[in-house]
Structure 1
């Protein structure tokens, strides 16, 4: 039986598509700071996928596991109430630091700007 040989680029493309698909779902469910965090996590994961395209198998596996964790958000049996995005933030940050990429660490989402007009009406 002949195996199908796929290149690194194919694996990278598949992971990026998974991230983008999950982000599209999160865009319909999240608002405000949670949506900003989801966007930041997706961007960091995309960069990690691309950065490890030709890295060691161990590093690629670590990033691949991170992508799958980000994508599999739902609770058991598809019920709502899965992990909070902050748990994925810790995971992405651990991977980024392990791969010596502190530039990809996701910090807390910036607070929404305060409407100064509301402060003066009180």
Structure 2
């Protein structure tokens, strides 16, 4: 029986590119706390993508779903549906972080002194 080793690098690269491209696209429209939150979400997602390259299919699917939730904005042409907020993406990313046992990657709101 021949064992075929699965190459996970291309999938990892694609997900990281999606995160980076989305961040680059939204960066000009964000300021202050929103920009900071988007950058922290992107950093957490990048770390999750890299760390789950050899994980189970279920864990990789969780991370992939979180990436897609972050990068895909739900807008209708007639603007009847709301755009997903960064806070909603934060909840999704944090849920995946907890499910994967990585509380160090939680994206917490910044406290102002």
- For structure 2, which runs of at least 5 residues remain unmatched after alignment? 1-5
Q: SS of the residue aligned with 1:15? A: helix
Distance 2:85 2:47 in 1: 22
Compare 76-85 and 17-26 and name the one that shifted more. 76-85
Distance 2:71 2:41 in 1: 11
Q: Which residue of 2 aligns with 1:42?
A: 42
Name which one, 1 or 2, has greater alpha-carbon Rg: 1
How many angstroms does 1:15 deviate by?
A: 0.2
Distance 1:30 1:73 in 2: 15
Question: Is 2:92 the partner of 1:91?
Answer: yes
TM-score when normalising by structure 1: 0.81
5 Å matches for 1:43-62? 43-62=43-62
Deviation string 1:2-32 (CA, Å, 9 cap, x unpaired) is xxxx720110000000000000012111100
Distance 1:84 1:57 in 2: 28
How many angstroms does 1:76 deviate by?
A: 2.6
Measured on the aligned residues, the alpha-carbon RMSD in Å equals: 2.1
TM-score when normalising by structure 2: 0.87
Q: Which residue of 1 aligns with 2:3?
A: none
Deviation string 1:15-67 (CA, Å, 9 cap, x unpaired) is 00000000001211110000000000000000000110000000001100110
